[in-house]
Structure 1
Amino acid sequence: MSMTVMMESAPETVSDASRDLRQLLVKTATWEADGVLSLRLVDPHGGELPAWEPGAHLDLVLPSGLVRQYSLCGRTDDRRAYTIAVLREVDGRGGSREVHETALVGKTVSVRGPRNRFPLEDAPRYLFLAGGIGITPILAMIREAEARGADWRLAYGGRSRSTMAFVDELVELGRGGVDGVDGVDRVDIVAQDERGLLDLDALLEQAEPGTAVYCCGPEGLLAAAEQRCGDRGISLHLERFGASGAAEPVDDSAEVSFEVELARSGCVVTVPPGCSILDAVRDVAPDVMTSCEEGFCGTCETKVLEGVPDHHDTILSAKERERGQTMMICVGRSKSPRLVLDL
């Protein structure tokens, strides 16, 4: 196997286009499983939407003003609509409950994106590991892998079959075969109440050299996949829906004040110890989009035009941090007396 390459995100250029808000109409809402509702979003005037690739997500601005990220799970060749699927999380941060409890069909919502930090790279074969609602980006990846004629396998875990979205389509895709080879066993649906948890050890032991492993789901699955792939030197690509606890802590006792210049307006704000860049910037730019404020979602990712950022997120790779071209202003600070940000 190759040397371990742990990827929580891939390099991405933060373009102005991907940061522009657009209004989309919620055309339909469909139950995909118990507690999982999909929304089909279209241009209110019937126009085409920007292209996207598997792994991309949208920032959805909810009627309350909350901003949440949802993976695109529709077809990439459908330029007339975006599809997202939302799991109702009773103990979540409120966004999923709002999606489920608000009558959105027929209304317009603001979205930003698509943006992609979880791209599907070229590989001769793939092993996809999905847990629960983590199937959403994986579904689009499987369609793409199938279109490429690549060998692929999916292990999809969930609490019960009734809570697992897109099972019928996935099983049908699994039966498509590659180069005429029967593919019935390419999709393994593992309902916890029937079979327990995914057997990652067995799945990874069977992975041939050169297999790219893509994983998305709850933190327990991601942490287990990281550990096992690291032990085996397997290339792992993953995306988190929540904080991992791996963010670099900020030593409040060592913090010093620094200045942040907002290049678009020319405003300069001072960021004192104990205050985030985001909080300081909000005083003069209240419309800056944010969501998690813990350094894992990427909503507040901002271009750094001058200065040396001090990163404390769980998104940027080591190379991206070294380049210092963007930062998450909800947790990041500055190693230089002044930062100039593209705000």
Structure 2
Amino acid sequence: MFTKRLSTILVVMLLILGAVSTAWAGDIGVTFQNNGVEYIFSANPENINGTTGNHYTIEKDLYTGYTYDIELYHHNYTGETKRFGVALYNPNSSTATITVNAKVINDCAATGESTELDMTAPLVEQYVLGYGSTSISIPAKSYTFLMYKDVPTQRTVSGKAKVSTNLSGVKARVFHGPQYVSASTVFSYTRDTDYESNITTGFFNYDGKYNSSTIDASTYPTFKLSEWRPSLNVNEYETGSNVLGSSILGGNYGMTYTITVKNAANKRLKIIPNFKNLDCPAAALVLYSPQIGWFRTGKLINDKDSDYYDQYWLMSMGTSSTFTFKYILPASNFGNVSFQVID
């Protein structure tokens, strides 16, 4: 499933591990504004076990004129294969057409974040590259799946799709049920209960952020994205609705940040994962640069020594005075990713 590895060569060209200059002006806070499309996120309950039952985690009516980013992330600990995915119901009296701009879903062994990053980071890269784009016709009063995966026990599943509809009122449900369950049966399920207060299932009005405050490379600042818990940054987190668990999606997993840096010519960004947190075993990001487009970084493994700054990626900011890049934190990462401007 994981193809298009041309980006590996490009990442080697743009992101290089090595010695760098150490000019550093300290941390600055970043003020954000929201952008992007509407976001349906499902990770609570994260662990589906044998007593959880079959349920939906969140339902959203889809409307014309809007686009929806839908992401799910769960562990199957039930002892049997379960179906995870997104089901659709068209209650209208005519056929609905769902435009799918991207649709990816996969699973992996649930043996920890490092293993899971080998699945989640490529999946996000495929999403931004438009993998799985198609259209789905749903006859009047009918049901179908947007996507699903039959996931064996002791495995982690993640999926992500971007969709729009030509008829308002089409319902989308993120669910977990038995293998071979039909889409119509999914709409007979009751909703999950709130199992984990610090994990999120919910609806957010936006799946993106951009900086409204100035980041001036001439002062060699360091700033954090996915800062958790919030300290220096302002307006980084939106309060979700229709939630299970936390109404704040800590880390903003799966959201797209658009970051503009001024006076950037001939400088670089040293990107440092949160390896100060020894519980963080590994890190991998999805980034966009004007020079090469979207790409996935190589995975870094936390060596857990005292100098956590010695593991990082480098990104050139080119020769123009203004540099704009994009950043996505795939599931299974830790937040508090630092970006340090260097020569």
TM range, smaller chain: under 0.3
Provide TM-score, normalisation by structure 2: 0.27
* More relative contact order, 1 or 2 (CA 8 Å, 6+ apart): 2
* Greater fraction helix: 1
